[in-house]
Amino acid sequence: MSTAVKCTYYYASPVSVDSSGRLVLGPSSQNIGDVDVLTTPADATPGSAAPAKGFLVVGSDGANARVVKVKSGGQVESCIVNSDGTRTVYIQQSLGDQEDFVTALATSGFMLIWDSSTNYWKRFTGKITADDGGMATIGAKGDAAVTNPDLNASGVALLKGLLKQLQGSGTGGAPTVRRGKLRRVNYDQASPNVAAGGTKLVTIQPPAGEMWRVSVFSFLVPAITDATGDQIVCVSEGLDDEKYGKLYMSGTNGSILQFKFNHIRAASGTKIPSPEQMQMDAVTSLVATNDQPIYWKYINGTDKTQNGTFEIDLLVEVEYIAS
């Protein structure tokens, strides 16, 4: 059953629709004429007779005109409607209520909580899950960190895993670096027993997940008594010292080779580079990782065996990287 309400209304800023379907605001105090509003009692029951002048909110369900339904006390009543046309839940509000107003928006657990003392919504709460099931749950504070992004874990566990990686303590290494830690490393070679014409290669290699930047480098190769020919030391960032060499020094007739204070202190033969400042720059530019170490190479170009201890010491700045 339908009832008809026919009345004439004046709007301060009336709303109409033009031929293109756009909303149009008309001039003030425009008479928009008599309006028939069909209402179905089951959906909207007017609480009282419409006044001679006022505002009337109308709409359509696609077939019939509808008015906004109100409670007997004047509160606006509306509802959330599912895609199949069934009602989900009513929403109603009165700013004059003296108690906190709590309304369930849907059966999924969303809540709007109204605080009548401030006339503001206090909070919005609800349960959130991924539609595709890719995230098991949002999780709880006590969930353990998960550093493998391929695993199905809670959001809290994955965020903890990310934080663990950023702190440099994750099993997969940190995606960013952490600087500032200095470490002393020693590569002394006691009794190397390098025969005439032989070589000794020392690999300066950080553990996986670390990168070393050389801050101080010092080494000593003792003299070989009564020898002829040169002792040579090369420092490089690759096995091919001709391509990746940083330092080269030689001592004639088995004389001592010493590198100290980041420059060559004793070398009677060739020095590359020659200026001390360039030697210092070469040392402090040395960088080593587990898969790209620094190589210290001794060549015995004399006619006698070298049995003295090689003293090799470094002070490095450690950075933590993804391995």
User: Which range has highest mean pLDDT (148-162, 168-182, 266-280)?
Assistant: 266-280
Arithmetic mean of pLDDT, 271-278: 96
CB-based burial label for 323 (10 Å; 0-12, 13-18, 19+): middle
Q: How far apart are CA 213 and CA 221, in angstroms?
A: 23
pLDDT at 219 over 70: yes
Reading the block at residue 196, the tokens are 């005439």
Check residue 53 and report its DSSP letter. Answer: S
pLDDT (tens digit per residue) in 184-214: 999 999 989 999 999 999 999 999 989 999 9
Angle, CA 155 vertex, CA 151 and CA 158 arms, to 5°: 50
pLDDT at residue 255, rounded to an integer:
97
pLDDT (tens digit per residue) in 7-62: 444 434 444 555 554 544 444 444 444 444 444 444 444 444 444 434 455 556 66
Report yes or no on 96 lying in a domain.
no
Report yes or no on 86 lying in a domain.
no
Q: What percent of the chain has pLDDT over 70?
A: 54
Q: Label residue 161 by pLDDT band (50, 70, 90).
A: confident
Tell which of 52, 70, 88 closes a domain.
Answer: 70
Report yes or no on 131 lying in a domain.
no
Q: How far apart are CA 112 and CA 102, in angstroms?
A: 6
Arithmetic mean of pLDDT, 127-135: 52
- Contacts of residue 246, defined as CB under 8 A and 6 or more positions apart, other chains included, come to 235, 236, 237, 282, 283, 285, 286
pLDDT at 171 over 70: no
- Based on the fold, state whether residues 186 and 66 are members of the same structural domain: no
- Based on the fold, state whether residues 60 and 188 are members of the same structural domain: no
pLDDT at residue 222, rounded to an integer:
97
Report yes or no on 101 lying in a domain.
no
pLDDT (tens digit per residue) in 67-112: 566 666 666 665 555 555 555 445 444 444 434 444 444 444 555 5
- Mean per-residue pLDDT of the chain: 74
CATH number, residue 230: 2.60.120
- Distinct helix (H) and strand (E) counts, the chain: 3, 23
Q: How far apart are CA 307 and CA 298, in angstroms?
A: 12
pLDDT at residue 150, rounded to an integer:
82
Check residue 154 and report its DSSP letter. Answer: -
Report yes or no on 7 lying in a domain.
yes
Q: Label residue 249 by pLDDT band (50, 70, 90).
A: very high
Instruction: Give the up-direction half-sphere exposure of residue 137: CA atoms within 13 A in the CB hemisphere.
Output: 6
Q: How far apart are CA 300 and CA 252, in angstroms?
A: 11
Tell which of 18, 46, 70 closes a domain.
Answer: 70
Number of domains the chain contains: 2
Report yes or no on 141 lying in a domain.
no
Beta bridge partners of 91: 78
pLDDT at residue 83, rounded to an integer:
53
Could you tell me if 86 and 73 are in contact, meaning their C-beta atoms sit under 8 angstroms apart? Answer: no
Arithmetic mean of pLDDT, 172-179: 53
Report yes or no on 146 lying in a domain.
no
pLDDT at residue 321, rounded to an integer:
85
Tell which of 55, 70, 85 closes a domain.
Answer: 70
Domain, as residue range, for 262: 181-320
Angle, CA 21 vertex, CA 18 and CA 25 arms, to 5°: 50
pLDDT at residue 172, rounded to an integer:
54
Report yes or no on 85 lying in a domain.
no
Could you tell me if 217 and 265 are in contact, meaning their C-beta atoms sit under 8 angstroms apart? Answer: no
- Contacts of residue 169, defined as CB under 8 A and 6 or more positions apart, other chains included, come to none
Contacts by 104-108 with C-beta closer than 8 Å and gap 24+?
105/80, 106/80
